[in-house]
Chains A and B, each alone.
Chain A
């Protein structure tokens, strides 16, 4: 275990918790950048693994920080990272949620609700770019991503059948030596 790294991870999570408008996918770019490239807590390949697990796991995508916490500091690391990502945003909603609810319908509140969307869109694409860039996809993986995206966009298929099918396919490809 590395106390310095764990401490840095917690310090990283607290502000991210407060700006994660739209949920976990909006802070992925920063998590990748900080844990892999700036603080060298994880290798790029390890980050991609944890990202894959967090997307396949139940619960919010934000819980990738629990996995990073586990890598950096075991059970204690996982617990502290989880608290650091959920407590600040929870305190904020307790502090201002009722106030906002009372003033909904005011012009500034409507503008605030609509004005968050463009920022969230930019952040989600930044996250896709960061993970895609560090994963160094092969051609077959790129094709898999595009096909999966098309299936999710065009059909009503949920993520779980798609995850199971893709996981099964890659297992078969692996034991037959194709990837």
Chain B
């Protein structure tokens, strides 16, 4: 475990052609209907193309989840960076986002055509309910994984109240809350490790 992670070097010495990256991520971006992106990406990058090992993929995934930004996009960018440098990152970003972007444009256009119809309004209200329900579910599932301790729960509640109810600027709240939350976690972890 103490060894620095240099196994990736074998991959970096042989950059993957940008065109191959582009086709892989365009394909992944186009299959992003219905989620499950991590599984699809693993299948394409590890199983089919064999560009990364299982362990490398897992490390990449963790970083993609920690960093700000949409996870599937982060995953694409970081894999692209590892396989073919900044050019690879740019190509992978483009491939991952373009299909979804075209779908969004098509939906925008359809929305403009249909939005005066009351039926379309009703359907959108229904979809908004499901959208909110799915965010709520995501919040509940993430909250369940928090440590059962005053500090993390207090931080979550404070962020909710300041951003959601009091409407303080989100960026400032996050910039202030993250160091506090990390410091609190650091102390909790140290206490836990000492027994």
Contact = CB atoms under 8 A, between A and B. Distances in A.
A59 B146 contact: no
Interface residues of B, number: 94
B62 to A, nearest CB: 7
Interface string B164-175: 110101110011
Given A28-B135, A111-B185, A170-B122, A86 B152 contact: no
Given A78-B105, A94-B77, A120 B142 contact: yes
* Binding site secondary structure of chain A: helix
Nearest to B115: A49
Nearest to A53: B107
A173 B159 CA distance: 38
Contacts of A23: 69-71
B24 interface: no
A21 B68 contact: yes
Interface string B111-136: 10001001101111111111111111
Contacts of B78: 93-94, 97
B86 to A, nearest CB: 6
B139 A58 contact: no
Contact of B111 (A49, A137, A152): A49
Query: Interface range on chain A: under 10, 10 to 19, 20 to 34, or 35 or more?
Result: 35 or more
Contacts of B19: none
A103 to B, nearest CB: 9
A30 B163 contact: yes
A79 to B, nearest CB: 8
A105 B1 contact: yes
Closest 8 A/B residue pairs (Cβ): A59-B100, A122-B159, A55-B131, A89-B69, A126-B164, A170-B126, A60-B70, A174-B122
14 contacts: A16-B170, A60-B72, A89-B69, A90-B74, A93-B77, A107-B190, A111-B182, A113-B66, A121-B156, A125-B160, A126-B170, A145-B132, A170-B122, A170-B125
Interface of B: 1, 4-5, 29, 32-35, 59-60, 62-64, 66-74, 77-78, 81, 86, 89, 93, 97, 99-101, 103-105, 107-108, 111, 115, 118-119, 121-143, 145-147, 152-153, 155-160, 163-165, 167, 169-171, 174-175, 177-178, 181-186, 189-190
